[in-house]
Amino acid sequence: MNVSLNLTDALIIGLIVMTIILVIYLIVLAARLKETLRKVDDILDDANRISKIAAEKTEVIDGVIDNAADTMMGIVETVHENSSLIGKVASVGTGAAAIRSHRAKKRSRKEEAAFSRANARKSRKR
């Protein structure tokens, strides 16, 4: 029994073997791709859930900020309306401070004068 093999037959057999290897490689690659796509899908689901939670929290925070801004505007308007009253209170406070300062100066002058008189008497006695 003689088996003869032509060059063309060898090339055809080589191509068939390479095609079978390529198909097996593609099947393994597709299986890995399928697993990768499952993992990506899980990650995207988690990201979607986190995005929804973040959006809800952002809306809550926006509401709090809006309420704080409204409150601050109310305070500013109240202060603006009562600015004359605040000015009067400030001027009364300034006047009271001036009176205290004047009394303190007057008291210190009296003490200095008393000290000077006491020292003058001591120097006369000697």
Mean pLDDT by 10 residues, the chain (126 residues): 82 96 97 94 92 86 75 70 56 61 68 66 56
CA distance linking residue 27 with residue 10, whole number of Å: 26
> Among candidates 81, 60, 63, which has minimal Cα distance to 71?
63
Q: Quick one: DSSP state of residue 1?
A: -
Give the start-to-end residue ranges of the domains of the chain. Answer: 9-60, 70-126
Tell me what pLDDT residue 94 has: 63
The pTM for the full model equals: 0.41
DSSP state of 82: T
